[in-house]
Amino acid sequence: MKAWFEIERPITVEADIPLKDEAPEEIKEKYASTLQGKFIAWSTSNGELIGCIKNNRSVCARIEEVKYIELYEMVPAKGWGELGLAFMAENGSCVSLIASSRHSLESRMWLVMLQEKLVNLFGIPAKYSDLGPDA
């Protein structure tokens, strides 16, 4: 592994990785043998793939496709609102959703911290998108 970083995730945080299984076998094997239950950001030894893994959920992206890490926020108005963090392409399309949840202060604070950690770990710029109220 080129990068392997454990990120604290408080139990009150609802934001989680989508129900996907995209991590390469080398990542899943290392995770299963040492860190079950932890939220890990990783990159492969050749640096071509980056992603996050927690339990049986994992997301993955080719680093060459990722131009920024976007935190998006839709505040509650008529519904629950929404928060998310994603690896984004140059054209603004989502390469891979890292984590998402309905809007809450705890999840927002954690996603802001997660974005900062991933930006520092992978050297990819950050972006924030205010999607306004969910009305």
Q: Is 32 helix (H, G, I), strand (E, B) or coil?
A: helix
Answer whether 43's CB lies under 8 Å from 52's CB: no
Percent of the chain residues past pLDDT 90, beyond the cut: 87
Amino acid 103: pLDDT: 95
Is residue 36 predicted with pLDDT exceeding 80? no
C-alpha–C-alpha distance, residues 67 and 61, integer Å = 11
At residue 35 the predicted structure's pLDDT band, cuts being 50, 70 and 90, is: confident
Amino acid 56: pLDDT: 86
At residue 1 the predicted structure's pLDDT band, cuts being 50, 70 and 90, is: low
Average pLDDT, rounded, for the chain: 94
Per the listing, tokens 């929404």 go with 82
Q: Where are the domains of the chain?
A: 3-133
